[in-house]
Amino acid sequence: MRELTRTEAIDIVGRDEAESELPERLRADVRMLGALLGRVLRESGSPGLYEDVERLRVATIAAYTDESPEAFERAAAIAESFSVERAEEVARAFTVYFHLVNLAEEHQRVRVLRERDGRPEREDAADSVAAAFVRLAAEVGDDTALKRLQDMRFHPVFTAHPTEARRRAVSTSIRRLVTLLTEHDASLQGGAGERRAERRMLEEIDTLWRTAPLRAEKPTPVDEVRAIMAVFDETLYTAVPHVYRRVDDALQGPAAGGRAPVVRPFVRLGTWVGGDRDGNPFVTAAVTKKAAAIGAEHILLGLERSAVRIAKTLTLSDDTTPPNAELLALLQRLADADEDGAADAAKRAKVEPHKRAVLLIARRITATRKRDADLAYRDPDVLLADLQTVQRSLVEAGAPRQAYGHLQQLLWQVETFGFHLAELEVRQHSAVHAKVLAEAASGEPLSPQAEEVLEVFRTIAQIQHRYGPRAAGRYIVSFTTSARDLAAVHELARLAVGPSGTPPVLDVIPLFETFADLQAAPGIMAEIVEHPQFAARLEATGRRLEVMLGYSDSSKDVGPVAANLALYEAQAKIAAWAKDSGIQLTLFHGRGGALGRGGGPANSAILAQPPHSVDGRFKLTEQGEVIFARYGDPNIAMRHIDQVAAAVLLASAPSIETRNSAAAERYADVAATMDAASRERFFSLVKAPGFASWFATVTPMEEIGLLALGSRPARRGLSVESLEDLRAIPWVFAWSQARINLAGWFGLGSALEAVGDVELLRRAYAEWPLFRTVIDNVGMSLAKADGRIARRYLDLGDRSDLADLVVDELQLTGDWVVRIVGGDELLSNKPVLQRAVKMRSPYVDALSLLQLRALRTLRTGDHDDAELPHWQRLLLLSVSGVSAGLQNTG
């Protein structure tokens, strides 16, 4: 946020202080990739393009460094001087540059993780599961710590919320470049290998430049399902069991792999992709059934290939590794069921019984995938039992390393993924359920919408029958306002199957989203657990219960400060009620990637939660660009899972719970003051007459709806007359594009001003984890904002009162954050992040200036009809580029 404080800006060729502080290899990668892009631009066939890109680049760097109005105006004038066609080309060039910088930073992160891997003195060891276990054991004892580790759950749920601005073709090209950069590292000795690697990177960058950056049409829900499968195939299938292995290695030391692991699979995957129909009419029962089939195909194919690969390694003869009686009985059962397979296995492994068994198991997995009812496994538990039989036989035969090596990894994969890969969760709005029940009670023929709602329940039953109860069954009710909203789901399930049918097994999960609903949540839960179907399911699961909390709408409802405080209070009250009621609670956090939707580092957020609100179980949504950022690379995925799981394990440590409880009590008056002041300030903006239309004018909110990001519509109605009509994602996305990021911080400055005591607030920052998390997240949000560019967006609306309100709060919030954290500018306490932001900001400024020009032209109508598509395209290109530069959307 340049109007507050700023140091030297950064230049890609390394002529300033900030870039020189980057790691040498990262700096070399950025230079090389930038030089290759420059060559592509010079060879593009567009005369003067490279020179125009350089003119704007140099001008925005000078404006960022100088801070003078004259330097900024010179940069703006260059952006204004381009024809719309040339502006499109320049925007594309800066967007490709950001893709290259992003992949260079990711590659550097992977490089560092690989170098640290396995070293006990590595810098990131303090927030690993192994370190968390040691700290927890010191407080509660080894036995209790081990039980908590073995009972732990980390449950990420992938959603199709439209926040991934890149086309899949662009993402695929970037992944190829990552591979080439790795090969380049291996050939840095020079000579033909290095030249070949650079030539191939040049070719790929040229391909990236020539690839259309925008989707021509919105993806279908099935397209979204297939896109998520890429993360599983390329990362999660192997990364998750590798996390288990690394934790077990750390805890067992040299004995690991030679005896049974102490680690039990603690990751479970969920997905809303193909199941979330709240506000998305394109997600039908047929789509849900297709999504389940796609997930099953991928996991069964993976398990099949793993089993075949493991079988090939089990070349243990029966004289050195004799089978036990249990394995011989298994071989007989497998042979009786598959005579042809048994004959083939006998030829391939005549004196290798363990190999023979796993070969036949692989054939049964294949039969399961191909729906061969005679040979298919009934459910994952039967497969697990067969594999455990092989494992026990190996142990008894004196081959524990074979038992607990690759075979153990396959066992972990079956336990983690089942036959479904990720549990498919269904979500629907409470109002839709109420409408369908009213139709059914009327006795009139049901509408197509009602028939579709009932078909969903029949589909869930079919999925459970085909892939097992774990494959589907969690049913989220969005905008839950009463116990009646939850009971309605069980009524609809019975209605769907009729009096003679058996309804699916359902775990009905309330989603509390608005401020009022969060406050009412404990009372609603206390009422619903008395409902017969709900109570029966509660007993069947060992009194396990899930409650989902929505971060997005609560923040849009009362502002980010009041929403954070309300969410903490709701969690504390629900957790206390669950503890008193003997219920094993899992809180499901509906967090987005952006700070205005609950984003930010998950591990620090977990460690700031109220006592008993985690208790070894953490479930959250992972959305859009966050999925590929956290899980797109195996090394980064393993690191992320390790960090989050460590926080989940440590959150139940007595010292953490005592610290959080005491801090919340100690600073309760501060929280109350902040809540009231922030809400008043937030309402003064969003409840001002004409705010909704002003917001739509000063941001590219309307145009974001034209981006083919996802299958889900961006708004709940045909137009945005009030904030309630708008979904949370475009609310956050639009403010970030305008370089204001208002959804993540507005009201905090007034809240801190109302407290007024800087020493008190500094103590709160040191002692109160929730407050520290809020301040740190806001610091990051403000660092990505830009006061001068923001003012130009705000002035598009011809409402100086609202514009001044935003700018004043921006300045006030930044001032207070710097005073509390210390230093002389934002992110002074996070130098690595600060350097990354400074490296990008001048280049994001270039795209913002181009976007401003397009938005102004579209708002004023100062264009010919024939030019309209070009101006719209320029704006959408700049949206994609700014998203890449800021590394977040919604």
Hey, what are 153's tokens?
Answer: 């759950």
Residue 324 DSSP one-character state: -
**Residue in the block written with tokens 């589909």:** 459
Torsion sign over Cα 241, 243, 247, 253? positive
Note if 312 is an active site residue: no
Give kind and range of the element (H or E) at residue 270: strand 270-271
Note if 218 is an active site residue: no
Phi-psi region of 727 (alpha: psi -120 to 50; beta: other; left: phi over 0): beta
For 863-884, give one letter per residue: b (16+ CB within 10 A) or e: eeeeeeebbbbbbbbbbbbbbb
Give kind and range of the element (H or E) at residue 221: helix 221-231
Q: Which of 433, 556, 612, 870 is catalytic?
A: 556
Taking the C-alpha atoms of residue 434 and residue 116, their distance in angstroms, rounded to an integer, is 55
Taking the C-alpha atoms of residue 197 and residue 185, their distance in angstroms, rounded to an integer, is 9
Q: Residue 862, Cα to own-chain centre: how many angstroms?
A: 40
Q: Which of 99, 161, 355, 420 is catalytic?
A: 161
Query: Would strands 507-512 and 544-550 be described as parallel, antiparallel, or unpaired?
Result: parallel
Angle, in degrees to the nearest 10, between helices 192-210 and 168-186: 170
Taking the C-alpha atoms of residue 146 and residue 251, their distance in angstroms, rounded to an integer, is 10
Give kind and range of the element (H or E) at residue 621: strand 617-623
Give φ, ψ of 590 to 5 degrees: -85, 75
Taking the C-alpha atoms of residue 376 and residue 350, their distance in angstroms, rounded to an integer, is 24
* AA identity, residue 269: L
Q: For residue 351, how many other CB atoms are within 10 A of its CB?
A: 13
Q: For residue 767, how many other CB atoms are within 10 A of its CB?
A: 14
Hey, what are 125's tokens?
Answer: 């060891």
Q: For residue 782, how many other CB atoms are within 10 A of its CB?
A: 26
Taking the C-alpha atoms of residue 358 and residue 706, their distance in angstroms, rounded to an integer, is 52
CB 510 within 8 A of CB 525: yes
Q: Residue 465, Cα to own-chain centre: how many angstroms?
A: 30
Give kind and range of the element (H or E) at residue 758: helix 758-767
Q: For residue 687, how many other CB atoms are within 10 A of its CB?
A: 10
Taking the C-alpha atoms of residue 530 and residue 524, their distance in angstroms, rounded to an integer, is 11
Active site members: 161, 556
